[in-house]
Structure 1
Amino acid sequence: MTALCSYHSPCFPGTCADTVTCQCHEGFSGINGNQRCRTMTPGNSPIITQCTSILANIDRTGQKMEKYRFVTDSSQPNSTRVDTMWVNQNDYNYINVEFAAFSLSPENIAQPKYITGFKFGIVSGKIQIDLQKVDRNDPNQPFVSQNETQNCRYQPGSLNPNDDVFHCNFTDENFDRLLENGDNLTLTVIAENGGFRELNTPTGHTQDYFYGQSSTKSTMFRFDSIKPYHCLLDKPNPCSSKALDVTEDITKGHFQNKFHHNRGLLNPVARYLHYDFMTKYEKKVPLELDDKTGNRTLQRIPNVFGIVKFEYNFRNSNQGNTTPLSWIPVSKAFSENQTFNIGRRDGDTINFWVKATDVLGNHGIDMTQISFDSSPPEDLRKADVIFQRNVKATNFSFSSRLLVDTYDRDSGIHKIKWELIANNSNMVFRSGEIPGNKTNVNSGPINLTIAATYDNGVRLKWVLPPTCYERTTIIVKSLSINGRLLTWTVDKNANWFDLTGLDPETNYNLSLITNYGSQMSDPVVLQFRTIASPAALTGGAIAGISIAFLILLGIIVAMVVLWRLGRLSVIKEDIQRRATVVRKNIANRFSAAHINETYGCDDIYVYGQMEFNETDSKFISSNDIVLDVMLTSGRFADIYKARYLPHNNKAKQNVIAKTLKSGYSEENLLMMKAKINFFAKEVGDHPNIIISCIPTPEFNIASFNQTLGCLRKSPTSLSEINGDSRASG
Structure 2
Amino acid sequence: MRPAEHLRAGILLVLIAEYSGGIRVGRLRFFRRGFVCREVNCRWGGWSAWSSCNHPCGNAGVEARSRGISRKSKCDGKSCSGPSQDSRPCNRGCPHGGTAQNGYCSDCPRGFYGTCCEHACEKIAACEWLECSSATDHHCKRCQSDHGGVKKAYRLASRDGHRNRVCEQLCSWRSDSRFCYPGTCPDLSKNCHCTEGFSSTNCLTIDTKPTIMYCLVTVEHGTEKVDISCDEATNTAIYTNILASKLKVDLRSAFKGPTTRRRYYINDFKVGITESKLNHRLERGGQTVSDKAVDCSGGSSRSNPNVGSASCNKEVSLQNTPLRHGDRIHFTALAKNGGYVKINNADTGNVDPTKYYTGQTVTHSALLVIDLVKPVHCSVASTCNDNMLDRGQAITKSASLSVLWAGWSDALAGIKLYEIEIYRMKVYQHKLAHHGEKALVLKEMDPSENTFSISLVDPGVYAVLLTVEDNAGNHQVARRFLIFDNTSSISTYTEDDKQLRVTSAAENTSYSWLTSLQDTSNGGEKVDVAWHGHYANELQESQGFLLGVADHSAPIDSDYEETTGQPPNTVSRQAIPNVNAIVKYELASAVDHRGGRSLTAPGSWVDVAAFQRETATVDVPRADGDSVRVWVRATDVMGNTKTDSVLVHVDSSPPVIQDVWLSRHGRTQLAVHHSTELFDLK
TM norm structure 2:
0.32
More strand by share: 2
From the two aligned structures, give the one with the greater helix fraction: 1
Computing the radius of gyration over CA atoms, which structure comes out larger, 1 or 2? 2
